[in-house]
Amino acid sequence: RVKQNGSASSDVVTELTVVDDSGNARGSTIASGATLPFKANQAFVPVNTLFAPGQMRLFTIKAVLASNIARYFGTQLKVDVTGIDTTASVKGAFPIRGTTWTIGM
């Protein structure tokens, strides 16, 4: 589960993808018609993966922007991880803060 906390409208994002550090675990959510990945600045990107006890992994979240982004120039996109859906116990704190990008040419 992710949240867009920047000043840009979440409508600028047409697709979100997640990939792990091995390239094996992948998930995505793509805009379909009028349905965009974010609703009220929140989105869910499905990815199924298993962790061994104590294992650490790196996941990268990628955002694909709309083709016409001129009206968003100068605004910022910031995607934070707000939680995960799992039956296991989770150790750590959410949100996990993401990088801030400024949209421009």
pLDDT of residue 105: 67
Confidence check: pLDDT of 5 > 90: yes
pTM over 0.75: yes
CB 19 within 8 A of CB 61: no
- Mean residue pLDDT of the chain comes to 89
The pLDDT of residue 25: 79
Say whether pLDDT at 16 is over 70.
Answer: yes
Q: Are 91 and 11 in contact (CB under 8 A)?
A: no
